[in-house]
Amino acid sequence: MSRYIAITDIHGELGKLENLLSKIKSNSDDIFIFMGDYIDRGPNSKGVIDRVIEQSNYNKCIYLIGSHEYALMHAETDDYYQFLFDNYGGPATVRSYGGFQNIFRIHGEFLKNLKFYYLTDRYLFVHAGIEPNCSLENQNKVDLVYIRGRFIYSKHNLPQKIIFGHTEFDKPYIDNCKIGIDLGCGKYPYAKLCGLILDENGKEEFVYSD
């Protein structure tokens, strides 16, 4: 039986990503869902994207967009998102690529094809969450990458359990209808990167980088 392996909010921390992946004993039919925020803050955003792309040589991979990629993709045409990119770790991303335009020259196709969510019978994987009282088809894309408390502390109406990142916690956030796995990697030096291994029978296993 294939499993889902969710990882989010890597934020340029290639060493922590490599360490986490080394601890996950994956099978060839496992599906990796990388849930966004590959870039900014940490020293090697380019290396992180190279590595998650490389994982597709071994497993099916789903790549979601995070708030930091959303800001990057809009930075050239919108002053607000340029401000966000500049103030939330964007300069570290630019350094790792050797220039802003190199980001799009090297990984433009990857960034352009990022998905907003991934849905299975049992789970919904999304970067930030959903508007709780809105159908999945009518969600605002900005909410999918930026929403926080209105989603986290409310019940939603979907039959799936929602797996999300974006809002960091000291340990995984778990309630009856959602799991949050952003532990602050890239934002805090001591923060671990968390992976969540799931199967369609509902088994949940957390794995952490050193």
Q: Say how many residues make up the chain.
A: 210
Helices (H), the chain: 14-23, 45-54, 67-74, 79-87, 90-97, 100-112, 141-146, 149-152
Q: Residues 78-126: pLDDT tens digits?
A: 999 999 999 999 999 999 999 999 999 999 999 999 999 999 999 999 9
Look at the chain and report how many structural domains it folds into. 1
CATH number, domain with residue 161: 3.60.21.10
Q: Residues 113-170: pLDDT tens digits?
A: 999 999 999 999 999 999 998 999 999 999 999 999 999 999 999 999 999 999 999 9
pLDDT of 2 reads 87
For the entire predicted model, the pTM comes to 0.97
The parent domain of residue 93 ranges over 3-208
pLDDT, average across residues 38-52: 98
Determine the Cα–Cα distance for residues 192 and 187; give it in Å rounded to an integer. 10
**Chain centroid to CA 153: how far?**
20
Computed over every residue of the chain, the mean pLDDT equals: 97
Q: Is the pLDDT of residue 200 over 80?
A: no
